[in-house]
Structures are given as C-alpha cells and as structure tokens.
C-alpha cells in the first residue's frame, strides 16, 4: 500500500499539476509540501488482480503523517474486489482519519454505513478493510433490509 505522500503526489499529478510534480524550472525534483489541505480528492485502491478494492474520497484531506490523512466529508466506497466490480458498502462521515497502508478508516463523530442488506448510523466508528470489520461504538441504529428468519425463536 502506498504512503500518503505517494498518494498525494499522484493526486496532485492527476489534478493537472503534473509539471510541478515531475520537475522544477531547472530540472530538479520539486519537493511536495503537505501544509495545505488537498481539496476534492479521491484515492482508489486495487486488488493484486487489478480489481477495484475501495475508493476514498473527501472534500478535503490533510496529511497528518506518511501513513495518515484527516478527511473532511468522507465518502468511502468499498467494492467486492472481483470482476463484478459491484459496490459492497458506502461509508459517509463528516470527519474521519484514514490509515492508508493499513487499509483502515475511523472517526470519533457520526458515520452512516449503507449496503444492500442494512443501513447503520452511529458514532465512534472504525472500518478495517483487510478484515472487512466494522465497529460502531455509540448511538448505534441499524435498519435491516434483508429478511431475518427465526430471530425471535
């Protein structure tokens, strides 16, 4: 998994700043600074087979460290990771922290999780993409869209 600095460089290059990313006027590499937030960014990740794994988007991202980015208006789309390229889940949160090399995202505030079978909201949450594990620790509200057989037996 690439570092935040590498993803920042890729984002800047993709947003039309390729010349600044590749070289300065005198052909020396231009240093990337991370003092200012990245605006309207997206960071896709892929499986080893080249299928989409997740797409992390935000209205603003602030690099905290080489491995960590603070995200405003998080929209994390999780894909099945296979050739079907189906959306498995969507996470929406006003603020979150992404740990890209670990494929984890978390936040102390609100989150909304949407998938075909349920919709969940709550606070103080985390998502571990490698383990496909979601934890919502406070004010949890879940609405199931799937049929639950024999639940109250």
As a whole number of Å, the end-to-end CA separation of the chain is 46
Mean pLDDT of all residues belonging to the chain: 83
- At 28-79, the pLDDT tens digits run 444 445 678 899 999 999 999 999 999 999 999 999 988 999 999 999 999 9
Does 116 score more than 90 pLDDT? yes
Spell out the domain ranges in the chain.
Answer: 36-144
CATH code for the structural domain at 36-144: 2.60.450.10
Q: What is the pLDDT of residue 25?
A: 41
CA distance 114 to 30: 41
Residues 6+ positions from 122 with CB-CB distance below 8 Å: 110, 111, 136, 137, 138, 139, 140, 141
């Amino acid at each position: 998994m690439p570092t935040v600095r590498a993803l920042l460089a890729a984002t800047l290059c993709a947003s039309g700043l390729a010349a600044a990313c590749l070289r300065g006027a005198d052909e020396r590499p231009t240093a990337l600074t991370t003092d200012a937030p990245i605006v309207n960014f997206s960071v896709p990740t892929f499986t080893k087979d080249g299928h989409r794994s997740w797409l992390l988007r935000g209205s603003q991202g602030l690099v905290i460290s080489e491995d960590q980015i603070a995200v405003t208006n998080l929209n994390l789309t999780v894909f099945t990771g296979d050739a079907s390229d189906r959306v498995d889940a969507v996470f929406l949160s006003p603020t979150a922290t992404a740990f890209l090399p670990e494929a984890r995202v978390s936040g102390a505030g609100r989150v909304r999780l949407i998938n075909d079978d349920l919709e969940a909201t709550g606070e103080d949450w985390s998502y571990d993409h490698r383990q496909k594990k979601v934890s919502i620790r406070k004010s949890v509200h879940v609405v199931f869209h799937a049929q639950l057989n024999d639940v109250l037996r």
